[in-house]
Amino acid sequence: MPVLTKSMKMEILQKLENKSTREAQRELSKLAPEAAMPRERQRIISEDCVEIKFVADKDLAAKLDEVRALAGPKGATMSMAELFAYMAELAAQALRVKKFGKKGAAEMATQPAANAFAPAATAVTTAPELTAGRPSRYIPKTVQRLVYQRDDHQCVACGSKHNLNIDHIVPLARGGPSVARNLRLLCFNCNQRAAMRC
């Protein structure tokens, strides 16, 4: 928004006078459309939930309504999250066919997603974990806490409580995800030894 003089500010305030919040927001968004547009954001709210916020423009809102209508009776009662889950599944199906062909996509659909990588025998957890996303060096704080708690704040190989690091059982380089199931606590020495074996 450009720097405003006092008279410009007065003019804006006069425009907003006696307007409802919604009307006032509309007036303000005309003055600075980019400022009125909240940024997209994702926030982890629990070990297995992420809050995703974004702004849908008129076209997207209309398309969402169209998908609801086409989905039949269940479309009308779907929550926004259910609607997106429904669309994500359809999109994934279509993209799998595009990428791997009909036969490859059908084979993938019969395999549970958890088999996408082979977890090591020691990597057993009953705790909930984040499973979304591509392999990333970043380990969310909630997942870190989970791994520390599960492994009793000690090296799973030697029991040491010093110089602990979170180690990827299937290395990142080989597509191992940063989820609790693929993570373990190792002390510096055991971590070095594990790295040498790879």
Which spans of this chain sit near Zn ion (rule: CB under 5 A)?
155, 157-158, 160, 187, 190
Coil, strand or helix at 138? coil
What DSSP string describes 37-56?
Answer: SPPPEEEEEETTEEEEE---
Select 169 or 187, whichever has its Cβ closest to Zn ion: 187
Nearer to Zn ion, 130 or 155 (CB): 155
Return the number of the residue (65 or 152) whose C-beta is nearest Zn ion: 152
Q: What is the DSSP letter of 160?
A: -
**Shortest approach of Zn ion to residue 186 CB, angstroms?**
6
Would you say 146 or 155 has its CB closer to Zn ion? 155
N-term to C-term CA, the chain? 54
Alpha-carbon span 81 to 87, nearest angstrom: 10
The distance of closest approach from Cβ of residue 110 to Zn ion in the complex, given in angstroms and rounded to an integer, is: 40
CB of 157 to Zn ion, least distance (A): 4
Name which of 177 and 184 has its Cβ closer to Zn ion.
Answer: 184
Helix boundaries (H) for the chain: 6-16, 21-31, 33-36, 58-70, 73-77, 80-110, 141-150, 188-197
Tokens at 198, concatenated: 């790879």
Q: What stretch of H or E contains 185?
A: strand 183-187
Please identify, using beta-carbon distances, which residue of 170 and 190 lies nearer to Zn ion: 190
Please report, as a single letter, which amino acid is at residue 181.
R
Shortest CB 156 distance to Zn ion, Å: 8
Residues in the chain: 198
To Zn ion, the closest distance from the beta carbon of 173 in angstroms equals 22
User: Whose CA is closest to 89, among 59, 67, 119?
Assistant: 67
What does residue 29 show for φ and ψ, rounded to 5 degrees? -70, -25
Closest approach of Zn ion to the CB of residue 142, in Å = 24
